[in-house]
Amino acid sequence: MRLQKDELKSLIKNKLHAAGLSEEHADTTADVLTFADERGIHSHGAMRVEYYAERIAKGGINTKPEYKFEKTGPCTGIFHGDGGSGHVAATLAMDEAIQMAKENGVAIVGVRDISHSGAISYFTNQAAKADVIGFSVCQSDPMVVPFGGAEPYYGTNPIAFAAPGKDGKMISLDMATTVQAWGKILHARSKNESIPDTWAVDKNGEPTTDPFNVNALLPIAGPKGYGLGMMVDVLSGVLLGLPFGNKVSSMYEDLTEYRKLGQLHIVINPAFFTGLMGFKQDISTSMQELNNIKPAPGFSKVFAPGQNMDIVVEEYMKNGIEIVNDIVEYLKSDTIHNNQYDHKGAFAK
């Protein structure tokens, strides 16, 4: 089913508000989720709403958090999330980081004690829209086997980056340090589709194409993805004095408890280095040069990172955002949640 962006956001907001979030926090959270869906990142969009609603309703997300920003140095700070919506806390923390970078050239802001924050490119794009460079990393459930291992240790531990170009354009990267994010497995489940055998392994450590048999995810490019996942864990966990590695809280284990996750924003102001206008011109030039490269067989064009998402957004603006029918029916229903996520394993089983 296809929905216009405003309708989808309104449905998500209303459901989260009904579950217990304040109207303001429900609106921000819905904006982050709609951002994902309108870019085709359905694994981090509306399909997550029922999980959030159940966690909110059961007390696992603080509906009245006392958010606090603690400045720890000229260019550093900690945003205390108090168990609240990760989407809201990460947005507010990025606002603080942007302001600090505008004044001092760079900013590093840790975000502590939050719930899941969704597609983290939302926050780096937030920075690029403010004419600064955004870099963000965050923790996630331990569900990835380390290179050479047979048991999960790190999470999918995503990395996002964005830099502004001219005329509102930007380069934007958002990637898990696994071959695919766990949300992609959930999306395959919701559509009863198989997955490539390079994404995950079953309980025996063997490759699987059945999303319901996934027991662990695989790091991207073997030891390289393993190393990147370690880096993210250090920056968003160890550095902030939070649980790390296989001690990071599970998304589903107990929905009455706060997750206490960590995220780290790094913001750089080009005006303190090469000059803002020159920087934006060079970003736009590099994007155009990439577009002009002769495409390989089977490809119509070379895109700069993030440009393919712009095409999806344009198509969805014209024809509506495609959402699985069952999810739309849930969003339009009076049901807060169906009590289906609590006390499950990392893979919701």
CA distance 143 to 245: 10
Q: Is 348 among the domain residues?
A: no
Which residue, 251, 274, 297, sits at the end of a domain? 274
CB 239 within 8 A of CB 76: no
Of 320, 319, 293, give the one whose Cα is nearest residue 307: 293
Q: Are residues 140 and 226 in the same domain?
A: yes
Q: Are residues 296 and 244 in the same domain?
A: no
Q: CATH number, domain at 224?
A: 3.30.1370.60
Q: Are residues 120 and 261 in the same domain?
A: yes
Q: Is 342 among the domain residues?
A: no
- Domain holding 288, by residue range, is 276-306
Q: Which residue has the tokens 């920075």?
A: 127
* pLDDT per residue as tens digits for the range 72-91: 999 999 999 999 999 999 99
Q: Are residues 82 and 217 in the same domain?
A: yes
Q: What is the pLDDT along the chain (349 residues), one digit of tens a residue?
A: 999 999 999 999 999 999 999 999 999 999 999 999 999 999 899 999 999 999 999 999 999 999 999 999 999 999 999 999 999 999 999 999 999 999 999 999 999 999 999 999 999 999 999 999 999 999 999 999 999 888 899 999 999 999 999 999 999 999 999 998 777 888 898 889 999 999 998 888 888 999 999 989 999 999 999 999 999 999 999 999 999 999 999 999 899 999 999 999 999 999 999 999 999 999 999 999 999 999 999 999 999 999 999 999 999 999 999 999 999 999 999 999 999 999 887 777 7
Characterize 53-80 residue by residue with b for buried, 16 or more Cβ atoms within 10 angstroms of its Cβ, and e for exposed: bbbbbbebbbbebebebeeeeebbbbbb
CA distance 75 to 89: 19
Please state the length of the chain: 349
User: What is each CA distance from 148 to 142, 153, 204, 215, 218, in whole angstroms?
Assistant: 16, 12, 14, 16, 10
CA distance 57 to 54: 5
Q: Are residues 259 and 287 in the same domain?
A: no
Q: Are residues 175 and 242 in the same domain?
A: yes
pTM: 0.94
Q: Which residues are catalytic?
A: 116
User: Edge-to-edge, what's the strand order for the sheet holding 68-73?
Assistant: 68-73, 76-80, 106-114, 261-268, 133-138, 159-164, 170-175
Q: Degrees (nearest 5) of the Cα angle 338, 342, 343?
A: 150
Of 267, 301, 325, give the one whose Cα is nearest residue 108: 267
